[in-house]
Amino acid sequence: MIVVDASTLTDFLLGRPATIASMADAMRGRENEALHVPELAEPELLNALRRLTLKGDISAGRAGEAISDLGKTRLVR
């Protein structure tokens, strides 16, 4: 079982290299498993994307891509 918190999920969906590398290592041999997340992971993720967008760290388009990718990610609560 792979459990990630909202900050890790945010970094993963934004394609941050260190998180991608860590997730790749953790998922090696478990590619068909869903990620387990806390119940409030999605609201926390959306809040983080909003905050990053308002600060100018990411564009609104990039936030939209991350939200779209979230919809394609198998999550278990």
> Is the pLDDT at 65 greater than 90, yes or no?
yes
Indicate the pLDDT class of residue 55, thresholds 50, 70 and 90. very high
Q: pLDDT category, 31, cuts 50, 70, 90?
A: confident
- Rounded Cα distance between 75 and 77, Å, is 7
Q: What is the pLDDT of residue 14?
A: 98
The CB-side HSE value for 30 (13 A sphere, CA atoms) comes to 13
Read off the pLDDT of residues 1-13 as tens digits, 9 standing for 90 and up: 899 999 999 999 9
**In the chain, what percentage of residues exceed pLDDT 90?**
94
Task: Locate all alpha helices (DSSP H) within the chain, ordered by sequence.
Answer: 6-13, 17-27, 41-55, 60-72
Q: Where are the domains of the chain?
A: 2-76
